[in-house]
Amino acid sequence: MSSQATASAEPNYFEVTKGFKSWALTLDHKRIGLMYLFGILFSLLLGGAFALLVRTELMMPGETISSADTYNKFFTLHGAVMIFLVIIPGIPAALGNIMLPIQLGAPDVAFPKLNLSSFYLWCTGAACLLLSIVMGSVDTGWTFYTPYSLDESKSGAIIPAVFGVFLLGFSSIFTGLNFLVTVHKFRPQGMGWFQMPLNLWALYATALMQVLATPVLGITVLLLFVEHTLHIGIFDPTLGGDPVLFQHFFWFYSHPAVYIMIVPAMGVVSELMTTFTRKPIFGYRFIAYSSVSLALLSFLVWGHHMFVSGQSPLANMVFSALTFTVGIPSAIKVFNWVGTLYKGDIRLQTPMLYALSFIIMFTIGGLTGLFLAILATDVHLHDTYFVVAHFHYVMMGSALVAFLGALHYWWPKFTGRMYPERLAQVCSIGVFVGFNLTFLPQFVMGSRGMPRRYWDYDPEFTIYHQLSTVGAFILGVSLFVVVCYLMVSFKKGRKAPKNPWGGTTLEWDAPSPPTLYNFPEPPVIHELYDYDDIVEDGDNGWVRKPRPAGAPPKEKH
Partner 1 sequence: MGDSHAHHEGGHGDDHGHGHGSPFIQHHYDDAKHQFDSGKLGIWFFLTQEILFFSALFVAYILYRHHHPEIFAYASHYLDVKWGAINTAVLIVSSLSAAWAVRCAQLGQRRGLIACLVITIVCAFGFLGIKYVEYTHKVHEGILFGRKFDPCVSSGGAQLITKKNECHGTKASQCVPANIDQMPEQPGWQVACKAYEVTYQGAGAARTEVSRAELPVCNMVSTGHGPPRAENPPCWEIQSNPNVCAPDKEGPTVAALVHYGDGRVRGSTFGIDLQCEPAPEPSADGDPHADVSHGPGFGQPLVVPSTTPSAHDLKVQASMGPPPEHTNMFFSIYFAMTGLHGIHVLFGIFVFIWLLIRAIKGHFTPDYFGPIDYAALYWHLVDLIWIFLFPLLYLIH
Partner 2 sequence: MKNRLLSVLALVISVAVLAGPASAQTPAAEPPAAAEPAAEPKTPNVLWLEEIEAQPWNTGGNFWLPTPAAEEADPSDFMFYAVLGLSIFFFTGVTIATVYFVIKYRARPGHKAQPSPSHNDTLEITWTVIPTIICVFLFLGGWRGYLAFTAERGGALQIDVTGQKWAWSFTYPNGTVDNNLHVPVGQPVRLRMTSTDVLHSFYVPNFRVKQDLVPRRYTYLQFTPTRPGVYRLYCTEYCGKDHSMMKVRVIVHETGGYERYLATVEERSATLPPVELGKQLYEKKGCAACHSIDGSPRVGPSWKGIWGESAKMADGSTATVDAQYIKTAIEEPNAQKRAEFAGGQMTSYAGLLSEKEIAGLIAYIESLK
Name residues contacting partner 1, limited to 158-177 (CB under 8 A). Answer: 173, 177
Range 519-548, binding partner 1 (CB under 8 A): 519-522
**By CB under 8 A, which span of 25-33, 254-262, 422-430, 451-459 interacts with partner 2?**
451-459
- Cβ partners under 8 Å of residue 107, min gap 6: 101, 517, 518, 519
* Contacting residues for 121 by C-beta, under 8 A, at least 6 apart: 167, 168, 170, 171, 174
The answer to whether 485 contacts partner 2 (rule: CB under 8 A) is no
- Binds 341: which of partner 2, partner 1, none (CB < 5-8 Å by kind): partner 2
> Looking only at residues 485 through 524 of this chain, which bind partner 1 when binding is defined by CB under 8 A?
517-522
CA-CA distance, 501 to 494, in Å (whole number)? 15
Residue 25 sits at φ, ψ, to 5 deg, of -110, 15
Interface with partner 1 (CB under 8 A), residue total 57
**∠ CA(478), CA(482), CA(487), 5° rounding?**
150
Residue 355 near residue 273 (C-beta atoms within 8 A) = yes
Find the part of the chain contacting partner 2 (CB under 8 A) among 112-120, 171-179, 253-261, 338-346. Answer: 338-346
Per DSSP, the residues of 22-64 read HHHT---HHHHHHHHHHHHHHHHHHHHHHHHHHHHHTTSSS-S
How many angstroms separate the Cα of 466 from the Cα of each of 61, 188, 411, 460, 474?
A: 10, 54, 35, 12, 13
CA angle 211, 408, 326 (to 5 degrees): 40
The binder of partner 1 chosen from 218, 267, 366, 397 (CB under 8 A): 218
Q: Between 201 and 531, whose beta carbon lies closer to partner 1? A: 201
Span near partner 1 by CB under 8 A; candidates 87-95, 217-225, 332-340, 365-373 = 217-225
x/- letters, 62..91, toward partner 2 (CB under 8 A): ------xx--x-------------------
Question: 282 to 301, contacts with partner 2 by CB under 8 A?
Answer: 282-286
Q: Which residues of 214-231 are buried (b: 16+ CB within 10 A; e: fewer)?
A: bebbbebbebbbebbeee
* Binding of residue 233 to partner 1 (CB under 8 A): yes
Q: Is 68 in the site for partner 1 (CB under 8 A)?
A: no
Q: Does 315 bind partner 2 (CB under 8 A)?
A: no
Q: How far is the CB of 73 from partner 2 (least distance, A)?
A: 11
243 interacts with partner 1 by CB under 8 A: no
Among 18, 19, 21, 376, binds partner 2 (CB under 8 A): 376
Mention every residue, 6+ apart, whose C-beta is less than 8 A from residue 349.
Answer: 276, 421, 425, 501
Question: Which residues would be at the binding site for partner 1 (CB under 8 A)?
Answer: 105-108, 110-112, 114, 173, 177-178, 180-181, 184-193, 211-216, 218-220, 222-223, 226-227, 230-234, 236, 238-242, 245, 248-249, 252, 517-522
